[in-house]
């Protein structure tokens, strides 16, 4: 897993950007730690942090499956500030039609096939763009800690 951080000097208190390249499922633990720490560092409540981490993990797992061994891995770009975060997950896979995928009947208790459902429920917005590769963009406002 490769990590690139921009504007990491917290005294600036502007948006912080982190870019992570995930090339294999074994990198997910480090990704969860990185995302969780960044989101928590901007004052998100623990439940909000956990929901953002889960949504990012689902997007990355989908992206890794779409890569199917092709090089490049999945690139996660996370931007946080005091109000919330924006996450972009990009993979080299062929993409899919979000409208068709969301119409499919999914068993909420199923072990697989719930990633988009979870992302939609956990985040404030979800957009998918598939133009030569697939990019999932999610946003979430933060609820301050109590």
Chain segment 85-134, per-residue pLDDT in tens:
999 999 987 777 667 666 666 666 666 667 888 899 999 999 988 887 88
Q: Over 70: is that where the pLDDT of 64 sits?
A: yes
Rg over alpha carbons for the chain, rounded to the nearest Å, is: 15
Q: How confident is the model at residue 11 (pLDDT cuts 50, 70, 90)?
A: very low
Q: Over 70: is that where the pLDDT of 7 sits?
A: no
Q: Map out the domains of the chain with their CATH numbers.
A: 2-141 (3.30.565.10)
Instruction: From residue 6, give the alpha-carbon distance in Å to each of 16, 33, 96, 111, 137.
Output: 6, 17, 31, 36, 19
Provide the whole-model pTM.
0.83
Give the count of beta carbons closer than 10 Å to the beta carbon of residue 61. 17
CB 37, CB 29: distance < 8 Å: no
Averaged pLDDT score across all residues of the chain? 83
Candidates 124, 126, 130; CA nearest to 142 is 124
The reported pLDDT for the residue numbered 71 is 65
Q: The tokens of 132 are what?
A: 């030569």
Q: Over 60: is that where the pLDDT of 70 sits?
A: yes
């Amino acid at each position: 897993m490769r990590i690139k951080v921009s504007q990491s000097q917290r005294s600036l208190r502007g948006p912080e950007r982190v870019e992570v390249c995930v090339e294999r499922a074994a990198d997910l633990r480090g990704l969860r730690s990185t995302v969780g720490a960044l989101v928590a560092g901007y004052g998100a409540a623990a439940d909000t942090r956990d929901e953002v981490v889960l949504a990012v993990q689902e997007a990355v797992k989908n992206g890794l499956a779409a890569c199917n061994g092709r090089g490049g891995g999945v690139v996660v770009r996370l931007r946080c500030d005091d109000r919330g975060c924006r996450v972009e997950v990009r993979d080299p896979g062929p993409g899919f039609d979000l409208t068709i995928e969301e119409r499919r009947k999914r068993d909420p208790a199923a072990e697989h096939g719930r990633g988009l459902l979870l992302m939609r429920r956990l985040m404030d917005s979800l957009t998918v763009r598939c133009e030569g590769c697939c990019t999932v963009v999610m946003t979430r406002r933060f609820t301050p800690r109590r």
